[in-house]
Amino acid sequence: MMKIGLEQIKSGSKKRIGYLKGIPVYELATKGGLNLVLMSKNSVPLVLGLAPHRAIARHIAQRDYKDLILDELSKSEELPYDSYAHLVDFWAETTQKVNQEIIEG
């Protein structure tokens, strides 16, 4: 089970990076090195992407949520897809597991 408390969020890392169907989408980082792309749906967090690098987390979010519009671009931290393609399935599955844990409480 993965629990990420507020004390584990890196200070100053939360920023709005886009929208999904009009709902703000945020990116934040944990002190342990995970990057999350998330939104709040009915006051419940929905993790759109989770990975050790923001490019992977964003890729998962964009792949799984076709209506996601990212309007904050961080080109200096982009990676070529080939450099992380082998990690995408694992982190996409981890993202789904985290959301399932949130739902089940």
pLDDT tens track of the chain, all 105 residues? Answer: 566 767 777 888 789 999 999 999 999 998 988 999 999 988 888 999 999 999 999 999 999 999 999 988 766 567 889 999 999 999 999 999 988 887 666
Structure confidence at residue 52 (pLDDT)? 93
Burial of 96 (C-beta count, 10 Å sphere; 0-12/13-18/19+): middle
Ramachandran region, residue 98 (left: φ > 0; alpha: ψ -120 to 50; beta: rest) = alpha
**Neighbour tally for 46: CB within 10 Å:** 18
pTM (predicted TM-score): 0.85
